[in-house]
Structure formats: structure tokens, C-alpha cells
Amino acid sequence: MEAYILDWANLLLRWLHVITAIAWVGSSFYFVFLDSSLTPPLDEKLKRDGATGELWAVHGGGFYHPVKYAVSPPKLPDHLHWFFWESYTTWLSGFALLTVSYLWNANIYLVNPASGNPMHPHMAIVAALAFLVVFWLLYDGICRVFGEKENGDSIVGALVLVLVCIAAVLACHIFPGQAAFLLMGAMLATSMSANVFFWIIPGQRKVVAALKAGQPVDPIHGKRGKQRSVHNTYFTLPVLFAMLSNHYGWLYNHALNWLVLILMMFAGAAIRQFFVMRHGFKLGRNRHPWPYALVGVLVIIGVAIWLKPAPAAVTAPVAATGAASGGAAASGVPSYSEMHAVMEKHCVVCHSANTIAQKNVKFDSPDDVKSHAQQVYQQVVVLKKMPFGNPGVLTPQEVDIFKRWYEGGAPTTP
């Protein structure tokens, strides 16, 4: 019953998380586009009121005319829309999902028993949470110290890149690959939401309070908020890649998975830079940013070529009964009993009529196993994705048993 309840919690939290993430990323992308597309106002009244940019747009049959005041409007409107629920709900639902999916079963998803000295599950939980908190503290410290200096944006960008690389190496050495990639995404997403909670929204509240009190507005709040908002837009594509990567075992199970993660995150940030600068190029503000897109695409292509699997050796299959060449064992193909012993150790906990039977896949009888032989080979040998959450628990020898069993015709005799 616990597994059934957790499955429902996982489904509903994932649904909520995706919906709110779409809203948050969408609003973030829109405002970055808006900032990059604004033109100086033509109306004299707007100029007198302190407007710094305007945009005319058409959507859904209507015309829109957003106007930006870089510091403050001449009069505070009665109804002011705040953009923060998307960020907070995305983070809260994501953390709840992380808790249900990973922290709740830390002994399965956060600990790699195949390592020489596996962590205690409680220590793994502490380490996972520390990644979220410590990265934010270091990142925030970098922004505080260097963010307002001359060439501060370049210094902050370089230091944050180094910090992300260090975090990726540590995560991939401490946790199983799948958990490491996911935690890197959660780490960056936590900093994104913390930017909104600790800097962007408080700064906006101070501006509103000053306007209501009839006091001059300090422009530093807008500058700081803009800086953190720009950081968030560059984090977005790396975060989305890390969150989606758990579906692709050949990424996070590579021996140099930390390098795979760094390169793919870098490619995402470069491609995002292209889209950020593209709007300004259309208005003649900068050169065409195509080199950023080219670099991002080339990095992705390079990683894809690098990770290309070696051609599989062609092995002549033996009869399923094991009669050919004196039986499965005699031909060097593992017997069904040998292969199923590994299954009973690692697989039937999730794939049995007596347990969960995830995706209605059961390994209770030889016929059940035979009907899913190709799926087993694909998930365990090719993608290296199973057991789900901690594929590293299988030793290379156990993976080889699945490989030789399938390529030898998937015999079902003992």
C-alpha cells in the first residue's frame, strides 16, 4: 500500500511541478524577450513620465502596448501584478517530488552499494540537501562580493561556471549518476527560486514601499533584481536538461558522467545566450549572436559522437531450449537459472505479481522473462538504466550475464 500511495504522490506532484515550471519558465522567457525588444518611447508624455522603453505586440486578436519604467512609474497603480507564485510553487512541488522519489528511498536512489564505501542513507540525505544549500550560499556570496564591481557580471559569470563544474564533479563522485544529474538540476533550480525569494521580490517590495511613502526610489534594487533575473534565464536550459536526463541512462552512467553533465549544461547556456541576444540584434543593438548557437550545437554533436556505443559483437543465438551445442551452459551462454538469480536479487522487487509490477512487467516465470527479454537487454545492457534509480548496483559481471544471455538466444531452461 505504501508503494501505491507513493506512486500517486509521485504522479500528482510531477504533474503540478511540470505545470508550474512551464508557467515560471514561460514568464521568465517572456520578460527577457521584452527587455531585449523594448525601443525608446516616441510619445512625449511617456518620456516625461520617465518611461525607458515600450513595445507594441499583437497576440490572440488583440494589440498590447507594454511600457517599462526602469526605476519607478510616475504613479503607483491600484492593481499591480507580482510574478512570484510560479517560482515558489515550482520549487515547493519539485522539492516534494525529490522527497517522495529520492529522499524517501535514499538507500535505493542516493546510495551506490557497488561503491567501495557506500554512505549510510541518512548521510546521503544530508549530503543531497547540502548540495542545495551550500551552492546557494557560495553563489550568493559571489554575487554580493563581485556583482556590483566594474566588469562584475563577467567575474560573476566565470566564478559561477567554476562553481558549477566543481559541484558536478562532486555530485557524480558522491551519488549514483541518475541522482547526481537530478541533484545538479535541483541545486540550480533552488538558487533560481532563492534569487526570487531573497532578492528580486524583496527589492520590488522596497521600491513599492518607497513609492507609497512618497520617497525617492533607489535604483540599486532594480539593478540587483535584473542581475539575478538574468542569471536565472541562463540557468534554465541546464536545469531542464538535468531534470530530463534521468530518462537516458547512457548519459549519467558514463565513466566521465560529470564531464557529460558539464558539457551539456554549457551547451544549454550558450544556446540560451543566442536567444537572449537575438532580439537585440534585430533592433541593431549588437552583432548577430549565431556563434553562441553554433558553439552550443557543436558541443551537443561532439558529446553525441563521443558517447556513441561501440558496435555490438554479433553472437550466433542458440535455441531457447538450450539443446544446441550441448545446452546453454556448454555454449558459454548463461543458463536461465543463473540469469534469474540476478533478477531475484535486483529486479523482482519492482517487477513481480507479488510486489509492484511496474509498467505491468513481471519476472515471475520463464515465459514472463522471455516475453520481456528484449526490454531487459535494452534497459540493462544498452541504456544501463536499470535497476531504476541506482543502475550502478549491478556489477559489470552481472550486466555481462544479461548481455550474454540475451545475445545467446535468451534460453529459458534451468
Most confident range (mean pLDDT) of 119-133, 280-294, 376-390 is 119-133
How does pLDDT run across 339-365, given as a tens digit for each residue?
888 888 888 777 877 766 566 677 878
User: Amino acid identity, residue 305?
Assistant: I
Kindly report the number of other CB atoms within 10 A of residue 192's CB atom. 26
Question: Helical H runs in 256-365?
Answer: 257-282, 290-306, 336-346
Angle at 378 between CA 186 and CA 331, to 5 degrees: 140
Decide if pLDDT at 174 tops 70: yes
Backbone angles phi, psi at 59, to 5 degrees: -160, 135
How does pLDDT run across 43-72, given as a tens digit for each residue?
999 999 999 999 999 999 899 999 999 888
- Can you tell me the distance from the alpha carbon of 21 to that of 212, in angstroms, rounded to the nearest whole number? 33
Q: How far is CA 69 from CA 66, 244, 375, in A?
A: 10, 37, 58
Contact 258, 252 (CB under 8 A): no
| Closest to 139 (Cα-Cα) out of 201, 198, 226 | 198
Decide if pLDDT at 371 tops 90: no
Contact 141, 169 (CB under 8 A): no
CB hemisphere CA count around 287 (13 angstroms): 4
Contact 53, 40 (CB under 8 A): yes
Decide if pLDDT at 297 tops 90: yes
Contact 190, 92 (CB under 8 A): no
The alpha carbon torsion through 120, 125, 127, 133 (nearest 10 deg) reads: -170
Rounded mean pLDDT, 136-150: 94
Contact 175, 131 (CB under 8 A): no
List the grid coordinates of 232: 536565472
pLDDT-derived band at 175 (thresholds 50, 70, 90) equals very high
How does pLDDT run across 11-25, given as a tens digit for each residue?
899 999 999 999 999
| Closest to 186 (Cα-Cα) out of 97, 124, 267 | 97
Rounded mean pLDDT, 377-385: 77
How does pLDDT run across 90-110, given as a tens digit for each residue?
999 999 999 988 898 888 788
